[in-house]
Amino acid sequence: MAKGMREIKRSIKSKQNTKQITKAMEMVAASKLRRAQEAAVASRPYTDKLREVVASIASGSGNSKHPMLQSRSVKRTAYLVITSDRGLAGGYNANILRKVLMTIRENHQSADEYAVLVIGRKGRDFFKRRNIALADEITGLSDSPKFSDVKQIASAAVKGYEDGVYDELYLAYNEFHNAITQVPVLKRLLPLNQEQMSGAKSDYEYEPSPEDVLSVLLPRYAETLVFSALLEGKASEFGARMTAMGNATKNATKMIADLTLTYNRARQAAITQEIAEIVGGASAQQ
């Protein structure tokens, strides 16, 4: 019995240590979530203004012939997948990776029909374990990424479409709704559609010409959409991690309570047994 009580007490101590860790991680994730939300909100005015300018040019006569605005026969599709470098974030990575893998298996018969570009160590390892070659990858991003951190892979994806290497480019990431809800989405980034070009339009004067300005702004706009998705993904990651660590803390608390009850019952039973043995011994001596 004493040995069993020692094991229970050791287990309680272990769960208490785990609870302290998960509680600390929950608080850290909550702090990072707030900053990630602020970064995502701060980037919206730039993206909205850029879309407005691009839409104004593209709506002009003869300006919608840019290859990034034209649909073509799809022979090869590219997927730019945004994941995290670390785990302990619930289903954050698993949900979006499962969605991409299912889409690839349903829509493509061979590896020549698609290409995968990955942001995040979890996504990279996932595809490599399944022998899916990566066209490009980037890992080790900070918790507060800058546009320069992802410009290389975003530019490579956009240029691949411009050069005809890919006929479609999809963006896969977790869309942030709140700390509890993150929805995995797979959106077509290129060619740009009318929905992406919608919004308020203004009249501008362009130098040297609308076509030249459009050829510069369209790739930058597509790259900006990638960066915006990354910021959404970061907010989703911290929200998922905060929720996962919060649930882990609650589970640890419940386990500690159950083990404490078991320990007290075992201790009470041991005391009762000792009293019974003392009484029994005293009775035998009479």
Residue 12 CA to residue 23 CA, distance in Å, equals: 16
Q: Residue 102: is its pLDDT beyond 50? A: yes
Share of the chain above pLDDT 70, in %: 88
pTM: 0.84
Give per-residue pLDDT as tens, 116-126.
Answer: 999 999 999 99
What pLDDT, on the 0 to 100 scale, is given for residue 61? 46
Kindly tell me if the per-residue pLDDT of 269 is higher than 50.
Answer: yes
DSSP lists the bridge partners of residue 264 as none
Residue ranges covered by each domain of the chain: 26-243
Per-residue model confidence (pLDDT) at position 55: 75
CATH architecture of 26-243: 3-Layer(aba) Sandwich (3.40)
What pLDDT is stored for residue 255 in this prediction? 94
All residues at 6 or more sequence positions from 260 whose CB lies less than 8 Å from its CB, including other chains: 12
Average pLDDT, the chain: 85
What pLDDT was estimated at residue 28? 93
Banded pLDDT at 199 (limits 50, 70, 90): low
Question: What's the Cα-to-Cα distance from 186 to each of 91, 141, 170, 173, 220, rounded to whole Å?
Answer: 16, 22, 6, 7, 21
Distance CA 79, CA 133 (A): 12
Instruction: Provide the pLDDT confidence category of residue 64 given band limits of 50, 70 and 90.
Output: low
Higher pLDDT, 55 or 126: 126
Query: What 3-state class would DSSP assign to 111?
Result: helix
- DSSP letter at 89 equals S
At 105-152, the pLDDT tens digits run 999 998 899 999 999 999 999 999 999 989 999 999 998 899 989 999
In this predicted structure, the answer to whether residue 76 has a pLDDT above a threshold of 70 is: yes
Task: For residue 267, name the pLDDT band (cuts at 50, 70, 90).
Answer: confident
pLDDT at 62 over 60: no
**10 contact partners, CB below 8 Å, separation of at least 6:** none
Q: Can you spell out the DSSP letters for 167-220?
A: SEEEEEEEEE-SSS-EEEEEEEEES--HHHH-S-------SS-HHHHHHHHHHH
Give the pLDDT band (50/70/90) at residue 238.
very high
Answer with the residue of higher pLDDT: 234 or 200. Answer: 234
